[in-house]
Amino acid sequence: MIFFSKRNQELIKELSTPAPVQCYQILHDNCHRHQQQDLLNLLGATYSAVLFLGASNANAVQIVVAVERTVFYRERAAGMYSELPYAFAQVAIETIYVVIQTFIYALLLYSMIGFEWTAVKFFYFYYFIFTCFTYFSMYGMMVVALTPNHQIAHIVMSSFFSFWNLFSGFLIPRPVTETTWWVGLSHGSAAFLLSLNCIFCADLFCNNFQLTTRH
């Protein structure tokens, strides 16, 4: 019963993937790459798109893990389950869904924004999206494991998302955090890794374009 419930949850997550992509396609359709502001627009589009669906993944996985944990407690008391194999199985199953979801999302987002179609750049973009979705999903699973129920887990997760987004380097520029005690908070933000990936990704995409600045 739980297996089919998990499959339904994951199916809904897969089918809901194209809708956010369409919204970002309307906002950033075939972005130009001739000025510095155009590069910043690409960074913002990539960051917001991945952060939005990554947070959705972390939220969607919590109820599934919470329901499965009830069965785990019962089976562990009966001597049927062990902690590490159960955790590895959860990660392996969720990774399969993330791989499929990442392919759908990366293919749509890459083509709709209008990035250059080369194999190296697309697979780098796919790897970047996959790693981000994976640690967001694993974070959602970890919070459920560390809290009594998924309601408290959702509260804890939301507070950390606000913290990550604030110190990721977009709302508060990186040079500002380097000169204050905020630099430690910036390194503690998982979204900071996302912003670094966005910068590397944009550098890979735009290294063939001539960027000009306005005077």
pLDDT given for residue 213 in this prediction: 43
Split at pLDDT 50, 70, 90, the class of 20 is low
pLDDT higher than 60, residue 114: yes
Is the pLDDT at 184 greater than 50? The verdict is yes
Average pLDDT rounded to a whole number, residues 128-154:
87
Q: How far apart are CA 141 and CA 157, in angstroms?
A: 10
Confidence of residue 215 (pLDDT cuts 50, 70, 90): very low
Mean pLDDT for 5-22 is 49
Q: What mean pLDDT do residues 15-26 have?
A: 50
Do residues 143 and 62 make contact, with C-beta atoms less than 8 angstroms apart? yes
Q: Stretch 4-19: mean pLDDT, rounded?
A: 48
Length in residues, the chain: 215
pLDDT number for residue 205: 59
Among 31, 95, 46, 90, residue whose Cα is nearest residue 202? 46
Reduced to 3 states (helix: H, G, I; strand: E, B; else coil), residue 35 is: strand
What is the phi-psi region of residue 30: left when phi exceeds 0, alpha when psi lies from -120 to 50, beta otherwise?
left
Mean pLDDT score, 93-121: 83
Residue 12: its pLDDT value, please? 47
In the chain, % helix, strand, coil (3-state, to 5) comes to: 80, 0, 20
Q: Give me the pLDDT at residue 4, please.
A: 43
Residue 106 — pLDDT band, cuts 50, 70, 90? confident
Query: Is 93 a residue whose pLDDT tops 50?
Result: yes
Residue among 115, 111, 135 nearest 21 (CA): 111
